[in-house]
């Protein structure tokens, strides 16, 4: 199955507020953009992906992500993450009614295309499926097969809420790069330890984060 991946992205000036102790106000928008660029570049290289729609109102991010090959959908509802995702999925299905649609966060700078392909191949076995984040509380990916509504319930405790909504939890080993979202400084260190894309590596170097000791 080939997927259309919907990536939501908050306006860069407001994005990644929980990284404020790690990245100063002047550096955070660039870091959030770098995460999104590395995420979208990896998604576009994934064998299980047909195309990518980014839902954002940020003009700079829209330009940069379109340059990578993503389609940009305006965040017309302007009513938070889940409204943005439902809107993005609806726009995709207007063009391609039978599309398999997966929502994926824009803060996955370690994302590796083969790991994403394994997750999407696993999701294809179910009407709706999701992947919990590295912390085990949230969600990084929610998938809906052809003819199924996405019904996104991202946000606090989204793992439990997606499970309660009837979506099947994907249980796969060795897909850490798809689970490792970056909300905090510790998450960023974990992502750097996994390995990040080139834009995040450059942006993180500007933060002067010390190298992780190898044990």
Ligand X SMILES: Nc1nc2c(ncn2[C@@H]2O[C@H](COP(=O)(O)OP(=O)(O)OP(=O)(O)O)[C@@H](O)[C@H]2O)c(=O)[nH]1
Ligand Y SMILES: C=C(OP(=O)(O)O)C(=O)O
Q: Which is nearer to ligand X, 62 or 172 (CB)?
A: 62
Q: Which is nearer to ligand Y, 93 or 161 (CB)?
A: 161
Q: How far apart are CA 73 and CA 190, in angstroms?
A: 31
The residue nearest ligand Y at its CB is 138
138 marked as part of a ligand binding site: no
Q: How many CB atoms lie within 10 A of CB 132?
A: 20
Number of residues that bind ligand Y (CB under 6 A): 9
Inter-CA distances, 197 with 69, 142, 203, Å: 17, 23, 10
Name which of residues 108 to 127 contact ligand Y (CB under 6 A): none
* Residue range at the interface with ligand Y (CB under 6 A); choices 61-69, 112-120, 152-160, 170-178: 152-160
Least gap, CB of 152 to ligand Y (angstroms): 9
Q: Which does 139 bind (CB under 5 to 8 A by kind): ligand X, ligand Y, none?
A: ligand Y
Q: Which is nearer to ligand Y, 1 or 164 (CB)?
A: 164
CB 33 within 8 A of CB 197: no
CA 5, chain centre distance (Å): 9
Q: Which does 56 bind (CB under 5 to 8 A by kind): ligand X, ligand Y, none?
A: ligand X
Name which of residues 66 to 105 contact ligand Y (CB under 6 A): 81
- Residue 212, both tokens: 């992780």
CA 85, 39, 133 angle in degrees (round to 5)?
Answer: 70
CA dihedral for 74, 80, 83, 85, sign (positive or negative) = positive
Residue positions forming the annotated binding site: 139, 155, 158
Known binding-site residue numbers for phosphoenolpyruvate: 139, 155, 158
């Amino acid at each position: 199955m080939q997927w259309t991946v919907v990536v939501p992205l908050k306006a860069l000036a407001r994005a990644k507020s929980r990284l404020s102790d790690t990245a100063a106000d002047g550096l955070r928008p660039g870091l959030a953009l770098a995460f999104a660029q590395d995420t979208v570049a990896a998604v576009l290289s994934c064998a299980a992906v047909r195309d990518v729609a980014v839902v954002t109102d940020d003009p700079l991010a829209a330009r940069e992500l379109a340059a990578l090959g993503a389609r940009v959908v305006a965040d017309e509802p302007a009513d938070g993450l889940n409204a943005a995702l439902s809107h993005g999925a609806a726009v995709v299905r207007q063009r391609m009614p039978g599309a398999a649609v997966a929502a994926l966060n824009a803060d996955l700078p370690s994302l590796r295309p083969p790991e994403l392909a394994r997750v999407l191949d696993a999701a294809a076995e179910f009407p709706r499926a999701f992947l919990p984040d590295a912390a085990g509380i949230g969600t990084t990916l929610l998938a809906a097969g052809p003819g199924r509504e996405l019904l996104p319930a991202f946000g606090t405790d989204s793992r439990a809420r997606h499970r309660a909504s009837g979506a099947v939890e994907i249980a796969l080993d060795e897909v850490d790069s798809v689970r490792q979202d970056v909300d905090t400084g510790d998450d960023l260190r974990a992502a750097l330890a996994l390995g990040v894309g080139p834009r995040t590596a450059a942006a993180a170097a500007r933060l002067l984060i010390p190298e992780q000791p190898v044990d």
